[in-house]
Amino acid sequence: MATAMTDTEQPPRDARRRRLLYRANHRGTHETDLLVGGYVARRIDGFSAADIDALEELLELPDTDLADWLTGRLPIPPDADHPMLRAMRDAAGEA
């Protein structure tokens, strides 16, 4: 018997979103897990296919670089600059 979802339940995530959420929360350092994982956890259900593609690319970047860029310790270099990375940095600054 199927039951209706309540307002507090999340819709089921496809395997790709679940995998990306796991990767975002298990980066290697606690700081980056919080910055990247927290951002992704709050937004992944609303990501478009293009956002998912961008996230997959970002998750390939070195953990230490991401931490430095997201905290503002170092500016995001032009070759890594991407709207999603800037949005993560902006969200990290609001926290």
Task: Look at residue 5 and tell me whether its pLDDT is greater than 50.
Answer: no
Nearest to 66 by CA among 56, 51, 80, 78: 80
**CATH code of 28's domain:** 1.10.150.250
Under 8 Å between Cβ of 24 and 60 = no
Whether residue 84 is contained in a domain is answered as yes
Whether residue 90 is contained in a domain is answered as yes
Residues 21-71 pLDDT 10s: 999 999 889 999 999 999 999 999 999 999 999 999 999 999 999 999 999
CB atoms within 10 A of CB 38: 16
For residue 24, give its domain range: 17-94
Nearest to 24 by CA among 4, 43, 50, 11: 43
Q: How many domains does the chain have?
A: 1
Whether residue 88 is contained in a domain is answered as yes
Whether residue 65 is contained in a domain is answered as yes
Whether residue 34 is contained in a domain is answered as yes
pLDDT, position 28: 85
Place of tokens 């927290």: 38
Whether residue 2 is contained in a domain is answered as no
